[in-house]
Amino acid sequence: MVSRIQKVHEERIIHRDIKPDNFLIGGTETTKDTVYVIDFGLAKCYRNSEGEHIPYKDGKNLTGTARYASIATHKGIEQSRRDDLETIGHVLLYFLKGSLPWQGLPGRSKNEKYAAIKKKKIETPLETLCKGQPNEFKEFMEMCRALKFEEEPNYKAMIGLFENCMTRHNFDGKVLDYTWKQNRLSKDKEALKAQMLGVINRRPKKDTDKDETKK
């Protein structure tokens, strides 16, 4: 995800709506190891054709998905590359933990709900947010949140964190053995077939000798 967003940033674009729904996996034999970024409806150029960075602004409405948005975005600050990356961190932690501390908070209106999410997100220390996960995830979030508005992220160092994490946990990054490489329907059929064979094999065998005697 980080390397994909790096390519987007190299085109002078920030996505501004990073969430699980906007990353897809190729569905053919040749694309099953390819990750695609989609839905650029909220995307924006962070540099103009002359290479000038967009100016710092505040007082802006939240753009994107509140669950994954960066803290700066909640504060109404103009988004830049740092916000895409912090949002990726929230998505990765959501994948690992199954939920985030600010999910399901009450609110009588959208603004109240956004305010509750913002408050909880600011008040949740990274030690708590990343608890139970490899330390690299906390380091990644620290790197993202330390970035200045116009600063170019060190994508290589960020990707290196996760590569080191994989190596430390004996994962081979060159072996792309992901669950989506197998068709879910075919897996379900195989499981049903195995279950039926198990039932058949447990049935008592017919006593053929007794039958022959009767004949």
Give the domain extent around 205: 180-214
137 with 195, same domain: the answer is no
pTM, 2 dp = 0.81
Reference 153, options 58, 59, 77, 88; nearest CA is 88
160 with 206, same domain: the answer is no
Q: Any idea which residues carry the catalytic annotation?
A: 17
pLDDT band at 206 (very low <50, low <70, confident <90, very high): low
60 with 106, same domain: the answer is yes
Q: Which amino acid is at 190?
A: E
Question: Where is pLDDT greater, at 101 or 215?
Answer: 101
Reference 64, options 53, 72, 56; nearest CA is 72
80 with 159, same domain: the answer is yes
94 with 186, same domain: the answer is no
* pLDDT, tens only, 112-167: 999 999 999 999 999 999 999 999 999 999 999 999 999 999 999 999 999 999 99
Helix/strand/coil for 36? strand
110 with 204, same domain: the answer is no
Give yes or no for residue 215 having a pLDDT over 50: no
19 with 65, same domain: the answer is yes
* pLDDT, tens only, 11-37: 999 999 999 999 998 878 788 788 899
**What is the DSSP code string of 111-130?**
HHHHHHHHHHHHHS-HHHHT
93 with 191, same domain: the answer is no
Q: Using CA atoms, how far apart are residues 86 and 159, in angstroms rounded to an integer?
A: 13
137 with 185, same domain: the answer is no
In the structure encoding, which two tokens stand for residue 4, read together?
A: 């994909």
49 with 149, same domain: the answer is yes
Q: In the 3-class helix/strand/coil scheme, how is 144-198 assigned residue by residue?
A: HHHCCCCCCCCHHHHHHHHHHHHHHCCCCCCCCCCHHHCCHHHHHHHHHHHHHHH
Region of poorest pLDDT, from 57-71, 104-118, 196-210: 196-210
Query: What CATH number does residue 73 fall under?
Result: 1.10.510.10
38 with 113, same domain: the answer is yes
124 with 141, same domain: the answer is yes
